[in-house]
Every structure is written in C-alpha cells, then in structure tokens.
Amino acid sequence: MKYSFRNDYSELCHPEILSALIAAQNEQNIGYGLDIHTENAKRLIQEKLQSNNCDIHFVTGGTQANATIISHILRPYEAVLSCESGHINVHETGAIEGTGHKVYTVAGQDGKLSPTDIINALTYHTDEHMVKIGVVYVSQSTEVGTVYSVAELKALYECCKENNLYLFIDGARLSSGLAASDVEFHMLKDLCDVMYVGGTKIGMMSGEAIVLFNEQLKPYFRYHIKNRTAMLAKGFAIGIQFERAFQDNLYFEMGKHENELAHFLSHELKSLGVPLLSESPTNQIFPILSKEEIEELKELYDFEIWGEVEDKIAIRFVTSWATTKEACIELIEDVKNVISK
Amino acid sequence: MKYSFRNDYSELCHPEILSALIAAQNEQNIGYGLDIHTENAKRLIQEKLQSNNCDIHFVTGGTQANATIISHILRPYEAVLSCESGHINVHETGAIEGTGHKVYTVAGQDGKLSPTDIINALTYHTDEHMVKIGVVYVSQSTEVGTVYSVAELKALYECCKENNLYLFIDGARLSSGLAASDVEFHMLKDLCDVMYVGGTKIGMMSGEAIVLFNEQLKPYFRYHIKNRTAMLAKGFAIGIQFERAFQDNLYFEMGKHENELAHFLSHELKSLGVPLLSESPTNQIFPILSKEEIEELKELYDFEIWGEVEDKIAIRFVTSWATTKEACIELIEDVKNVISK
Amino acid sequence: MKYSFRNDYSELCHPEILSALIAAQNEQNIGYGLDIHTENAKRLIQEKLQSNNCDIHFVTGGTQANATIISHILRPYEAVLSCESGHINVHETGAIEGTGHKVYTVAGQDGKLSPTDIINALTYHTDEHMVKIGVVYVSQSTEVGTVYSVAELKALYECCKENNLYLFIDGARLSSGLAASDVEFHMLKDLCDVMYVGGTKIGMMSGEAIVLFNEQLKPYFRYHIKNRTAMLAKGFAIGIQFERAFQDNLYFEMGKHENELAHFLSHELKSLGVPLLSESPTNQIFPILSKEEIEELKELYDFEIWGEVEDKIAIRFVTSWATTKEACIELIEDVKNVISK
Amino acid sequence: MKYSFRNDYSELCHPEILSALIAAQNEQNIGYGLDIHTENAKRLIQEKLQSNNCDIHFVTGGTQANATIISHILRPYEAVLSCESGHINVHETGAIEGTGHKVYTVAGQDGKLSPTDIINALTYHTDEHMVKIGVVYVSQSTEVGTVYSVAELKALYECCKENNLYLFIDGARLSSGLAASDVEFHMLKDLCDVMYVGGTKIGMMSGEAIVLFNEQLKPYFRYHIKNRTAMLAKGFAIGIQFERAFQDNLYFEMGKHENELAHFLSHELKSLGVPLLSESPTNQIFPILSKEEIEELKELYDFEIWGEVEDKIAIRFVTSWATTKEACIELIEDVKNVISK
C-alpha cells in the first residue's frame, strides 16, 4: 500500500515532539501531572489563550476527555445535548451513558447545532419526568469536517448562558478547526465554559488538554479525573508534548498544514470532476466514487468508507501533520487513472 | 535534590523502549491496537506465557486496567474482595465503586489474602440483602512489597474455582514481584483467570497489558475497553513498547535490577542499624527513622512518608529500572551521616 | 371538576383488591416477598400463563421494573433498542441511562417496532466503537395506544432469537393491551424472554409483576432487585393485590372494561365529527379539538394535552377500571355542547 | 407458630392508616405526589417540625431513600462515611455503590459515629488519589438499637458543618428512636441537613418521607427521585398514610408503644437471668441464649439469629406498633420454661 489517508492518528508524533521526549529521557519527574513540564505546558497554553485564570488538566484520549468533562458537569438526572452525528453519540460505545447520562440528540445542520436547536430541546423537556439538559456539546471541527464561526459560537454561548446551560467544545481536531474558521485560539476563553485541546489527532503520541474557563467547574477536577480512571502516573509524558507544541506555533501550524493539503486534494478532485459529499474546509474531505473505482483505489491507499450516496459511495480522506504534498499529488494521479478507465 | 526514590515511575522509559518508539517514527499504523506492533507484542507475551490461547489487550494505566477488568467481570450486585491495603480500595478515588461495585475488604496479612479470608468473606455474605462476592483481587507484588509464592497463588486459585469466583492478579509491579518469588511468568496462566502485566511502573512511558486466560471473560472485551474510555487511538504507541520489552528478557531484567538495588539498600540500612518496617523482597523498602533524620534526608532525596511507627516514622524508598548502584551508595552514605549526628 | 380522564392511575385500587388488603390486616407475614400471598400470586400468574417454570418477582413501579430488567440483561457496553416514543426513552428522566446504558432509538411505526427496525439497528452498529444492541424493548399496549398482534410479536421474537437479542415486553397496560389484540396471556411465555405485568395502571395500589421466561435471566434476580433499590420490605402488600387480581379473571376484566369505554368514547366522538389522532384500540384515545374547545372542556374535565396537529390540538382521554359509562356519556354530552358553539 | 418478633414490618399497617386509605377509595387524585393528601401530609410534618421551609418528598422504601439521598448529595468522586454496622454498608446489596459511591466505614461505638470518627476519616483522606468524604450517614435508632442524644447529634452536626460535610439521618425507625432519646422531632431541623422519616417500619404499608432542610439540597430533587426510579405514580397512596400518621400523634405513639413493650421484654428477661448483648433503649433487644434454648424457642416464635457470643448465641426480638402486651407476657413465660429445663 502506498499511503494511508484513513485518519490523522496513524503516525506516532511530530518529530519536534519526539525530540522533546528524547530530551527528557534522563530526567526524574514527579508523577500525576505535578511536574515542571506540565506546569510549563499549562502556562504556555494560558499565554496563547491570553488568560491566566483558566484551569488546565491533561488526559490521554478523546473519549476519556469527553466522558470526564460531561460527567463532571452533570447531575444524575441531567443530559448532554448533541448533534445526532456527534462523536459522543455514535462512536464512544456508550461511554457517556456509562457515566449515567443520556445523550439527547437533535438532527442539527452540517454537523452543527444552532440556538434554535437548543431552544427546541429545552422546550421539549417540560418537567421532572424527562431529563434536564445540562450541557451542550459541540466540536470544532465537527464530525463531518465543518466549523463554527465566531458569530455562531457566540450565539450558541449566549443562548447557553441565558438558559443556564454549560457549553463544551470538543477540540479533538481543534488545530485544523481553528485554521479553517475565523475563530482564533484566544477567543475561545470567551466562547465556552470548557473545552479540550486535542493532541492525539494533532501530532502528539497521546494526550488532550482540558481547559476549564468557568469557575463553577474548577473545584475537585483532579479528583474527578482520578475517579474516571483518567489520571496518568507519568503525566509528564503528556506535559512534555504539550510544552513543545505550544512553545512556538507548532500546534497551530500542524492544523494549517493539514488543511492546506486537504484543500489541495478537494480542489484537484473537483477539477477531475469527482463530486464531494460536502464543502469541508478542514482536514477531512469526502469524495464520491463508484464501487469499482473505490475497489481499485483501495489497493493503493487506505481510507474510510463513509456511506452510500445513491448508487455511489462517499469515502473519507484525512490529512495529518505528516501528510506530504508528494503523497497528495500521487493520490490525485491515481484517482485520475482510476476514474478515466 | 540529589535523587528521587519516591517511586518507580519518575523516569520516562527505558532507553531500549525509547529506541523502539524512535524507530517507528516514520511509520503509518492502523489505530486502536489493530496494528502489527501490537500484534507482535501479543505474540511475544504469549510465547513467554507458553500459551497461545489467552487474549491480550493494552490500556494506558493501572487504575484503568483495574476498573476495566473488574467491571467486565462483575454483575451489578457483585463485589470484589480485596485486602484493606489493596490499591483498588485506597488509592483509586472510588474508581471501582464508580463502576457500580462494592470493594469488600478484609484485613489480610502482610498485604496478602489467604483462602481463609475468602471463605470467611463468603460465609459472611449469606443472602440477597448483601452483595455477592464475584472476583478476588490480589497484586504481585503487593502494596507493601510482599509477594505470593506459587503455593499461595495455587491455594487461592483452587479456593476461587471451588467457589465460583474469578481470581484477578494486578501486576502493576509484576516484573519485580516475579523476580522476588518462585512464580515464573509462564505459570501465571494456570494461577488466575485474568491479570495485567504492568508497564508504567516497569520502564515504559505508559501501558498495561491485560491478559484474559478464562474463556468466559474473553467475549466483547474490546467493547468494554471502549465503553470504559480506555481504548487508545494510537494503540500502537503502547504496542511498540511491549513489543520491545518482551522481545528478549528486558521486561524481566528490569524487575531483577530493581530488586537487586532494593536488596542492597535494605542490607546496608540494616548494617547501619536502621530498622525496616517489613521484610520486603521487592523494589519497595520501608526504613524507620526519626523525624529529625527524615527532615535532613528530605533535603537530599525525594521519597514518600509511609506512616508513624511509635515515635518514629517509616518512609518508603522505591528503586526503578533506572536507579543506579551509585545513587544507592550515595544514599547509604548520606543516611550514615544523618543518623550519626 | 366533573371527572379526570388524565390517566389510569388516579384511583387508589379496585374494591376487590382493597378488600383483599383489608382481609390481611391482622396477619403477620414474612418480609421481602417471601410470604404466602406472594407465593400464591406467583402460582396463580403461572397458572394463567400455563407455565410452571417462569420466575416471577414483584416491584412497585413501572420505571423501576424497566430499569431493573434492562440493567439485569445488559453488559456495560450494551444498549436497549426502543421506539423513539418508548416510555424508557422519553418519560423516565434518564433512569435507564442512569444504570449505564444507552437507549438506542428508531422511529418505528404507530409506536411499534418491526423486524426491519431491528435489522437496521444491528446493521448500523458495526464494531466496538459503537454500542452493541442487547435487548429489544416494546410495550403492549404502546405509548400511543396501539397493540402488537401475535404475528407481529412472533416475528419480532424470531428476529431477536436469530440475532442473539433478548425481547422484553413492558406490560404497564398489559390488561388493556391483551383485550385489544389477538394475544392471549398464556401465549406471552412463547413470545418474549421477559415481561412485566402492570398493576399500578390496572387497578392496584402499586406493584408490577416481572416474569422471567428465559433461563439465562433467572439467576440472582433477587440480588439485582435489591441492588436497584426495588425490593420492598412489605412485599406481601403487593403479593396480596396480585393474588386477588389473578384469583379469577379480575385482572383481565379490568382491561376489557377500560377498552369498552374507550371504544364507546371514540365511536361517539367520531359520530360528533371529532377527528382522532390515531385508531387506538386500547384505553387511550386522542381527540383533536380547537384551542377554544379545549379551554372550555378543561373547566369540566382533567386530561392531558398531547400535542399540536396543524392549527388544532390533540388531547388524551384515558379510561380506567373505575371509569363509569355515566361519566363517559356526560363527557360526550359536554363535548357536543362545546363543539356546537 | 405463636408470634413473630422477627421485625417491625410483618403487619400490613396500623388500622387508622388502613381506614384513611379506605376513606379515599372513591377519590380521583393527581399522580406523582402532586395530590392534596400528599400536600396535607407535607404540611402536617412541617407543623410537627415547626418549620415551613423544609422540602418533603415521599418514596416507597428505606434502601431507596438512602440511595436517592446519598447519590443526590455526592459528586462522583465523593464517598459517604458510615459505621461498619450501618445499613447502607451491609444490608443493601451494594445499592449505594451501585450509584457510583464508596461507603467508607469506621468501626464506631455501639453502632454510632462520633466527631472523632469524622475527623479521623478526614485526616486519612489526604488527596485526590483517595475519595473525598462528602456526607456522614447515621441512623436514629441505629442498627443495634442505640440512639443518639441531642448533644451527640449537635456535636456531629457542628463537626460536619465545620468540615463542609452534609449530615444525613436515616430515620427508618425514627419514631422508636425519638421515644428513647431526648431528641424531639422538631429539633431535627437544626440537627442535620437531610433525614428520612420512616413509614414502612412504623405502621405504614410502605413509604418514607425525605425531609430536606439544607437549601443546597432542595433544587431538582423530584428529577433525582424519578431518575432513581423512586417516583410512585400513585404517590397519593403514600401521602394518605403520612397525612393520617401526622394528623395527631399517631406516628410518635407507635414508637412509644414499641419501646414500652421492648423495655418490658428486656426487664423481664434480665429478671430471668437472661443476659442481653447491649442496653438497647429502643424496639430491638438482643437476648443471649444457648443453642438448645434457641432451638426450642424457634418452634414457638419467629426471630432473627444475630450472632455468636462465645459459646452462646444472641438473637433479636423486635416489637412493632402491633405487638401486644399479651404476646410479650406469653413470650416471657415460654422463655422461662425453656431456660428452666
């Protein structure tokens, strides 16, 4: 096989991040995220956020971050509101429900929620015989590669605040999501109550940075992390990675790189006449091909089958920090050959 | 500070393991532990176990391994039996109870359970108004550094099988535990239903290998891992580490090294007239010193305060794969100076 | 207010059932459902089921029965399949999710599931990143008053068995549901794995009889009931009620009575030109009236607002074992007056 | 068998309470505890408490009340502190752990906790690797029949408030507990944050009244009750019973009656030279007899075996509102005969 466009977590980690780990090899560090690297990482993230009073905690993976945050926010009778396509609804094997909470879903549009969706959900839940919506879950970028604009997030957050709801932004692909929208990293402190800054899908070996902006959510979060089995003994292994990623603009450049190559791919595919399922501005694109074409491509490349579109099939190409222009050019060549048969 | 004897997870990872990670830097691997390195790691562990029909799964940390295994075994009304000193009882912030299960404890002896403890626990639980004991939890080595012999584990496992209980061995420090006992790695397949082979505390950056021997426990374990938020996207990052650790005898040599230096320390301390809280044959030793002596030592070394022993205090020194003979010699010199004042 | 058609649990209990309670007033009975009345009740239900090897347990309410049964069946990563309109999905304040399980919903038709719905749900859930469907939940009658036929339940149960799923029938309104369908009580033993026979909505003060047909589900159910806080100290208070209800055909006659009056109401309403939201053959009917008409009726009767239908509103009338023909005639008269203005 | 002294929930309910139920037989009431009887019951309890700003909710049983209250108070990483002998620790089949929370136990004295126990528990739990104690659980009377004095409860509550802990009093046998102590019902509003007033064990068919004094605990409790499957459709069936029990002093007289007969029994037993396990001032007493004597008594009476005391055995006699002086005199006669052989 030539190359995998299956996802953005196929490569170990960015060489700069590996170098940072290697550099720390002969150190002794305190456990459980109380070390100096983690401390630095937090400070550097705060600097980029232009905020020195948010609380930051590191966990290893996305599902873990989602379940830890949501179960920290909610009381037993409360539910999280999500798009039907939301990662917590579909692809977490009931992990949120495993913490005791309903994921209440609405259809949404292009993988996104609107204030109207929130109001409708609240209106539907009238009394104590139904769950109480407690937190709204969105992701930047979304499961289908779309992004929220500043205006959209502001409107959502206003709506949440007016209705005593928390807003949580899942940033598994935040770097790519920011590079594709008008949302700048530092703005996020005013656009939600809590978010996580994804590492696993943005060039790190593992690790997500949970950022708590809302004072209400800060107390005892370390207890909660441990209770949810998400506290890592060698927390410094994650601290070191985030320290490096936020030392300069590495974290943000990785997302830009991903998007640029994805744009190149979508532009070239459209030039070849290959339709795309959606106009995704981020690092996931969804070309539509025939079954035969896909069979041929599968021998050369790894990618995900997304779903049927009439008599054809949508597939997903994901670019990562490690994807090269060369690999993309070769892919386009091969698609060209395949579809011209 | 000269050196930390606080625990065995202060260093990133063994250089050989880091080399293995570096070597994989330019690869693309399939996610979620379905990659070739994880496959190899499983095969190598199976070979050392002389068993090709156990199921192996990797998770990131010990509390996670414990909670995932125990909640997989038990039905809602069932409890896990543990020593009062058991890690799951004391130091996991209610993570086991967080999965809905009582940790029923008995005093035990030297951090260990006996068949009599099991029988007593079963006798105590008479009917449906009390929990039903479903699994027995032990660790090798234990929280206080002791180990089970083959005969002891056999007796426990016999007792469990006769009483329809599962036996689970927590191997967070398995390498050290094995090096200090007559239990050989391959024997474990006949001595319990499930165990985990610890990586975090034995030279890896993170990672524990859950080994399911009992057929009853095998189905749908991957679903359960994901539901418990313990499935890592870049599973190969753990697979690579275990692949290296079990390629030769590295995993077992690290434990031997730890024990040798711990034995050196306890021998020398006794020579100096420093009493030890217990006769630990593994990599944790518990010297008893006066408050003043400890205050002085604390300026030079990092270690844990274990508890009061009459008017003195027991502290804990832990050796790791990275601890050097030189560091130990220096420590002994410094203890000598401190106590001779 | 003249009368409440709000629901079928507005009256304490059927006079015969009250008499049975009064008759037991001077007895001493063993607690926790181990008494002779409960024993008799079980035997009488078994006789009506023509089955002597089903297990029967009593709990106090419907949500409790649903949560206890579903959490007994499922492993942590498993979900229950339900219609969107299912009681467990909408009106239990997340009680099922509170036991850790996702309620996966499909639209269904007329409040009912079909084998196709099951197959589609199974097809959608492809791997360990998604929940595993473990049990199918239906109710007889459904939330919208419809019923399954024998053929429909047979098809569902066949489909479940072929796909290793359990089928659970919620019989909160079973008496009414049976009276309106070709399903006879004794047939149920061959049409599902577990059901509950509702008492609260069928003339009892409280109490539901859980019937376990499938051998797999029988062990340790009393432990599970207690763990779910559903074991009543004075279990005999429920046993006495079911003993009386199943001594003759009282249980089944109550449902027939409910349906007869509901049919009378729907027939008369249609004669008056009042449209019904659906053709419900059971004790719930859904007339559609204007807002003004409803405002007027509300001063005379209590009933539930069901939802908007274009510019009008559907309301719900529920008949109970206690509803009289006279009350129904008067209601019809009053509707007639209201709509003729 | 002549009579059962096994427990205080062997009889259906007090005749006055049954009369109240019969009187309501022809009514229609609103469901879910929103009816007028429940409203009255709340008002009457408030009057006896001399408090009009506590919130009152009714559930069906004691384990349900305990689990609902405790899981409402605690965050996921928090635990409840209890005596080892506490009902929630031993006899609830892990129901509290089933809601995700550890029951942390201390030995206590005579079934009771002291401020020292609380302080020790807090001191033991040092950081986020251990659970955080969030609520202290005591019962009046205790599992072994003892009672707290006003001074003792005051000291406990002071200690709780100083340490940001909630104090919860389980009043399953409150009527008997109050009659045997200097605690008057109305004082309770200043002696804890939440309690439940037991009905099942004090003359009612079923039902416990949860009283929330602390403002923090009031919001959304009805949601929580429903989520925990504890909301009864025919809530008025419980409301009617409490309405009657608190209309005059019936609730408190039942406890007095129980205690008087228990005192009579213990006085007579001591006169006969039968030792008692403890000096219980409430409706549970624990005579110590030989195995042979117990075998003989068992043919005439039903009672619980409590445990071995050297070569003899302690049994438990419980008096209820329904126990007659005649039954007690006869029991004493029979004990006399048995021990004189």
CB-count exposure of residue A140 (10 Å: 0-12, 13-18, 19+):
buried
Assigned token pair, C186: 């004794």
Phi, psi torsion values for A281, nearest 5 degrees? -85, 0
Domain boundary among D216, D245, D274: D245
Mean model confidence pLDDT for chain B? 97
Select from C4, C6, C7, C12 the residue whose CB has the most chain D CBs within 10 Å, as the one to mutate to test that interface.
C12
Long-range contacts of A118-125 (CB under 8 A, 24+ apart): A118/A81, A118/A156, A118/A159, A118/A160, A118/A163, A118/A165, A119/A159, A119/A163, A121/A81, A122/A163
User: How many angstroms away from the CA of B253 is the closest CA of chain D?
Assistant: 30
Assigned token pair, D299: 């043919």
Q: Which residues 6+ apart lie within 8 Å of A64 measured at CB?
A: A208, A228, A230, B229, B230
Instruction: Let me know whether C158 and C293 are in one domain.
Output: no
Instruction: Let me know whether D72 and D215 are in one domain.
Output: yes
Model confidence at B226, pLDDT cuts 50, 70, 90, reads very high
- Which amino acid is present at C108? G
Beta-carbon separation of A206 and B232 below 8 A: yes
Instruction: Let me know whether D199 and D335 are in one domain.
Output: no
Beta-carbon separation of C12 and D27 below 8 A: yes
Beta-carbon separation of B91 and D129 below 8 A: yes
- The partner residue sitting opposite D220, judged by closest CB among A77, A99, A222, is A77
Cα angle B163-B164-B170, degrees, rounded to a multiple of 5 = 100
Mean pLDDT value of segment B228-248:
98
C-alpha distances (whole Å) from C127 to each of B216, B222, C133 are: 20, 9, 11
pLDDT score for D341: 82
Instruction: Let me know whether C76 and C208 are in one domain.
Output: yes
Alpha helices in chain C (DSSP H): 15-23, 36-49, 62-73, 87-90, 95-98, 115-124, 150-162, 174-179, 221-227, 236-245, 250-271, 291-298, 325-339
Instruction: Let me know whether A336 and A188 are in one domain.
Output: no
Mean pLDDT value of segment D46-61:
97
What are the pLDDT digits (tens) for A22-78?
Answer: 999 999 999 999 999 999 999 999 999 999 999 999 999 999 999 999 999 999 999
Mean pLDDT value of segment A77-103:
97
Mean pLDDT value of segment C191-206:
97
Q: Which residues 6+ apart lie within 8 Å of B210 measured at CB?
A: B56, B57, B58, B59, B65, B68, B69, B194, B195, B196, B221
Q: Which domain holds residue C173?
A: 15-245
What are the pLDDT digits (tens) for C25-34?
Answer: 999 999 999 9
Beta-carbon separation of A224 and D77 below 8 A: yes
What are the pLDDT digits (tens) for D116-153?
Answer: 999 999 999 999 999 999 999 999 999 999 999 999 99
What are the pLDDT digits (tens) for B64-113?
Answer: 999 999 999 999 999 999 999 999 999 999 999 999 999 999 999 999 99
- The partner residue sitting opposite B12, judged by closest CB among A24, A64, A231, is A24
C-alpha distances (whole Å) from D264 to each of C123, C315, D268, D327 are: 70, 61, 6, 11
Instruction: Let me know whether C176 and C311 are in one domain.
Output: no
Q: How far apart are CA A179 and CA A175, in angstroms?
A: 6
Is 90 exceeded by the pLDDT of residue B264?
yes
Give Cα A341 to chain centroid, integer Å.
38
Peptide bond into D278 cis (omega under 30): no
Q: How far apart are CA D163 and CA C132, in angstroms?
A: 44
User: How many angstroms away from the CA of C97 is the closest CA of chain A?
Assistant: 5
Overall domain count for chain D: 2
Higher per-residue confidence, D248 vs B279: D248
Is 90 exceeded by the pLDDT of residue D279?
no
Alpha helices in A163-220 (DSSP H): 174-179
Looking at the whole model, is its pTM more than 0.80?
A: yes
Q: How far apart are CA C251 and CA C241, in angstroms?
A: 10
**Residues A196 and A233 sit within 8 Å (Cβ to Cβ):** no
Q: Chains near D, with 3+ CB pairs < 8 A?
A: A, B, C
What are the pLDDT digits (tens) for A173-217?
Answer: 999 999 999 999 999 999 999 999 999 999 999 999 999 999 999
Mean pLDDT value of segment D155-179:
98
Percent of chain A with pLDDT over 70: 100
- Which amino acid is present at B61? G
What are the pLDDT digits (tens) for B103-145?
Answer: 999 999 999 999 999 999 999 999 999 999 999 999 999 999 9
Q: What does R_g of chain B's alpha carbons equal in angstroms?
A: 20
What are the pLDDT digits (tens) for C40-86?
Answer: 999 999 999 999 999 999 999 999 999 999 999 999 999 999 999 99
Assigned token pair, C74: 């499922």
Mean pLDDT value of segment B252-259:
98
Is 90 exceeded by the pLDDT of residue A93?
yes
- Which amino acid is present at A34? L
Q: How far apart are CA C302 and CA C261, in angstroms?
A: 17
What CATH number does residue A68 fall under? 3.40.640.10
Is 90 exceeded by the pLDDT of residue C279?
no
Domain boundary among A193, A227, A245: A245
What are the pLDDT digits (tens) for C298-333?
Answer: 999 999 999 999 999 999 999 999 999 999 999 999
User: How many angstroms away from the CA of B194 is the closest CA of chain C?
Assistant: 18
B-proximal residues of A, 204-243, CB under 8 Å: 205-206, 223, 226-234, 236-237
Beta-carbon separation of B95 and A22 below 8 A: no
Q: Chains near B, with 3+ CB pairs < 8 A?
A: A, C, D
- The residue behind tokens 């196929």 is A10
* DSSP designation for D40: H
D-proximal residues of C, 93-152, CB under 8 Å: 93-95, 98
Phi-psi category of A50—alpha, beta or left, where left has phi over 0 and alpha has psi -120 to 50? left
pLDDT score for D1: 83
- Residue whose C-alpha is closest to residue C54's, from C146, C206, C190: C190
User: How many angstroms away from the CA of B225 is the closest CA of chain D?
Assistant: 18
- The residue behind tokens 């009381």 is A75
Assigned token pair, D137: 């659980």
Mean pLDDT value of segment B247-273:
98
Is 90 exceeded by the pLDDT of residue D244?
yes
Instruction: Let me know whether B190 and B318 are in one domain.
Output: no
Q: Which residues of B touch D78 (CB under 8 A)?
A: 94
pLDDT score for C341: 82
Q: Which residues of D touch B93 (CB under 8 A)?
A: 77, 128-131
- Which amino acid is present at C186? H
Instruction: Let me know whether A191 and A324 are in one domain.
Output: no
What CATH number does residue A283 fall under? 3.90.1150.10
D-proximal residues of B, 241-260, CB under 8 Å: none
- Give the Cβ contact number of residue A341 at 10 Å: 7
Select from A222, A227, A229, A231 the residue whose CB has the most chain D CBs within 10 Å, as the one to mutate to test that interface.
A227
Is 90 exceeded by the pLDDT of residue A341?
no
Instruction: Let me know whether D295 and D238 are in one domain.
Output: no
pLDDT score for C294: 97
What are the pLDDT digits (tens) for C130-158?
Answer: 999 999 999 999 999 999 999 999 999 99
Indicate the pairing of strand A132-139 with strand A166-171: parallel
Mean model confidence pLDDT for chain A? 97
Mean pLDDT value of segment D106-125:
97
User: How many angstroms away from the CA of C203 is the closest CA of chain D?
Assistant: 11
Is 90 exceeded by the pLDDT of residue B279?
no
Cite the beta strand spans of A97-207 per DSSP E: 103-106, 132-139, 166-171, 194-198
pLDDT score for B62: 97
Q: How far apart are CA B309 and CA B287, in angstroms?
A: 10
User: How many angstroms away from the CA of C198 is the closest CA of chain A?
Assistant: 19
Beta-carbon separation of D77 and A220 below 8 A: yes
What are the pLDDT digits (tens) for B197-206?
Answer: 999 999 999 9
Q: How far apart are CA A149 and CA A278, in angstroms?
A: 17
- The partner residue sitting opposite D9, judged by closest CB among C4, C22, C234, is C234
What are the pLDDT digits (tens) for C92-123?
Answer: 999 999 999 999 999 999 999 999 999 999 99
Instruction: Let me know whether A145 and A278 are in one domain.
Output: no
**Residues C318 and C327 sit within 8 Å (Cβ to Cβ):** no
Instruction: Let me know whether D263 and D119 are in one domain.
Output: no
Instruction: Let me know whether C146 and C53 are in one domain.
Output: yes
Mean pLDDT value of segment B292-314:
95
Domain boundary among A181, A212, A245: A245
pLDDT score for B82: 98
CA atoms within 13 A on the CB side of A245: 33
3-state secondary structure of A322: coil
